[in-house]
Amino acid sequence: MCGIIAYKGTRKAADILLDGLKRLEYRGYDSCGMAIISNNRIETKKDVGRIAEVDKKLNFLKMNGNIGVSHTRWSTTGSVTQINSHPHLSCDRKIAVVHNGVIENYTELKKELVKKGHKFTSETDTEVIAHLIEEDSSFERACLKTFKKIQGRNAFVAMNDKGEMVVAKNGSPLVIGIGSNEYFVASDAPAFIKHTRKIIFVEDGELISLGNAKDQEIRFIDTRYSKDLKKRIQEIEWNVEEAQKGKYPHFLIKEIMDQKKTIMAAATQDYDKIEKIADMINESFGSFLIACGTAGHAALASSYFFSKIANKHINHMVASEFQSHYHFLTDKSLVIAISQSGETADVLEAVKKAKTKSAKIVGIVNVPGSSLARQSNYAFMTNAGPEIAVCSTKAYTSQLSVALLLAYAAAGKMDEGVALLKQTANLVDNMLNQDLQNKTKQLAKKLADKDHIYVLGKGFNYPTSLETALKIKEVSYIHAEGFASGELKHGVIALIEKDTPCIVIVANDDTKQDVLTAALEVKSRGGYIIGISPENNEIFDYWLKVPDAGNASPIVNTIPSQLLAYYLSIERGCDPDYCRNLAKAVTVL
């Protein structure tokens, strides 16, 4: 996954592009670059490294001009080198391209182009776009032909030295910002919301021509039916502050602390719509909850909510495995897809497959206007605001909140669900205090040199154990594994040695005694027990106190681990916002 930002208007493009790149850095950060039209020629600067490093070396702001494209890369095709960084140019250097995605047929296309005499400089698939466009003297027509030729999930922005700019998308996200006499194009709206909140979402198969330098006309073309489109301008509600760190040193801690507000925001829904979906859930048959990663853990937790609160069985499946199971779907099935970004390729692919079986799609999604929000028959926004840190925190607890509300509504107890969530929002606001931060920081110091951390949970908090382990792995690179506490005796206990840290999540519910029994077995083999629980217990060597939130326990129980993961990453000198090898939204299959 990569980040694209392009600008065409009357202001200094480099200012806007550099700022936008920094806001998109979470999408990829192994190299970056910029191309700007200056004195009727395309000037390009690019290199390997984080944006601030590359900028220090190349000084992007020295480039003058009002039209440009830029890119922050997370390599898929071609290694991380200066040459492979975007933008890529045509042979005559009059066309510059930035791209997100994978061109599946690029080797064939490259062979044909080489035969025709095109000289390639990089190992990337992207470069074929620039050379294909060079094949036709009409820029817009050339982009259209190129778009039709390339296969796979792709989005690109191309410009020529005359200032014509074309945007095309199939699979990877792109959004256009409309300013006064200016256009912005980006992979994600926070890249430019500082300048405009008027946006148009680009749909798959669309190509947008931003005209030549003088002509500021914007034209939308549906490439599948070769016809012009009229598109609706929408106003995005997110504000600039929400997409900034503010007083915090990292986005991760800022977003953990945001949970003081986001549970309440998630609880604020159109309750009539919730009731309607609850009826659909109750009438549905052979339904699935699907998602990936952290959202996948929210989907698993939701299956427990529906089972225990609403007495309704809904299958849980990670989206990438759905293709082996979707044949069970019928027009009576409901697919509840959960995604922060709404752009995860595995989720969108699963939704596409479900639609072929006429199943209805309910999306639980954070990014307004994202592909999942648009492709769902019914979409619930989690209202967590922009989540920038690569690892997901506040979006997770918001996903749990919306799912909990749906489960209560399906049980015919909507008011009870709303009351529980509002009470949980207050509990979270109170628990995110200095005391909990100090205790998790102190624990992080103790655990920072460990090679393994294990996590046990049961029932509602089995998914919490998986999520706890994932958070620790992602930001501190310590190996961590979550297990259902009952599985301990079936193998996991072999891993326990003296001082092996084991986090046990002990909720005040019918799973309490089983988890404590498992903790005791670990302790008797010398394990170091960290209890996350409303009450202390003599088994615990270290206790992280959480409030008793009843059926909302997975929401409160996950928060200490988010803090622990954050402080572990600081202790170990990692960057908590940019996890090694990871990108925020995975838009490739």
Q: Kindly list the catalytic residues.
A: 2, 584
**Per CB under 6 A, 133 contacts ligand F6R:** no
Both tokens of residue 55?
């900028």
Note the helical H segments in 412-539: 414-431, 434-447, 462-476, 512-524
**Per CB under 6 A, 42 contacts ligand F6R:** no
Piece in contact with ligand F6R (CB under 6 A), picked from 340-348, 413-421, 431-439, 535-543: 340-348
Find the shortest distance in angstroms from Cβ 554 to ligand F6R: 15
Find the shortest distance in angstroms from Cβ 339 to ligand F6R: 3
**Per CB under 6 A, 376 contacts ligand F6R:** no
- Farthest-apart Cα atoms in the chain, separation: 78
241-260: contacts with ligand F6R (CB under 6 A): none
Residues 461-500: x where in contact with ligand F6R by CB under 6 A, - otherwise, as a string: ---------x---x--------------------------
Give 113 or 252: the residue with its C-beta nearer to ligand F6R. 252
Q: Starting from the edge strand earliest in sequence, which strands make up the sheet with 288-291, in order?
A: 315-318, 288-291, 334-339, 360-365, 378-381
Between the alpha carbon of residue 368 and those of residues 135, 200, 335, 384, 386, the distances in Å are: 38, 12, 19, 11, 10
Q: Given candidates 292, 359, 373, 447, which one binds ligand F6R under the rule CB under 6 A?
A: 292
- Taking a C-beta distance cutoff of 8 angstroms, is the pair 27, 187 a contact? yes
Q: Strand 31-38 and strand 501-505: pairing?
A: unpaired
Q: Given candidates 187, 339, 371, 465, which one binds ligand F6R under the rule CB under 6 A?
A: 339
**Per CB under 6 A, 392 contacts ligand F6R:** yes
**Per CB under 6 A, 403 contacts ligand F6R:** no
412-471: contacts with ligand F6R (CB under 6 A): 470
- Phi/psi of residue 479, nearest 5 degrees: -70, 125
**Per CB under 6 A, 391 contacts ligand F6R:** yes
Distance CA 548, CA 530 (A): 17
Count of residues that interact with ligand F6R, criterion CB under 6 A: 15
**Per CB under 6 A, 206 contacts ligand F6R:** no
Query: Which DSSP string do the residues of 112-159 spell out, in sequence order?
Result: HHHHTTPPP-SS-STHHHHHHHTTSSSHHHHHHHHHHH--SSEEEEEE
Q: Given candidates 269, 294, 302, 383, which one binds ligand F6R under the rule CB under 6 A?
A: 294
Piece in contact with ligand F6R (CB under 6 A), picked from 28-36, 227-235, 254-262, 341-349: 341-349
**Per CB under 6 A, 295 contacts ligand F6R:** yes
Find the shortest distance in angstroms from Cβ 347 to ligand F6R: 5
**Per CB under 6 A, 383 contacts ligand F6R:** no
Distance CA 83, CA 94 (A): 17
Query: Which DSSP string do the residues of 148-164 spell out, in sequence order?
Result: HH--SSEEEEEEETTS-
Burial 478-504 (b: 16+ CB within 10 A, else e): bebbbbbbbebeeebbebbeeebbbbb
Binding site for ligand F6R (CB under 6 A): 292-295, 339-341, 344, 347, 391-392, 470, 474, 585-586
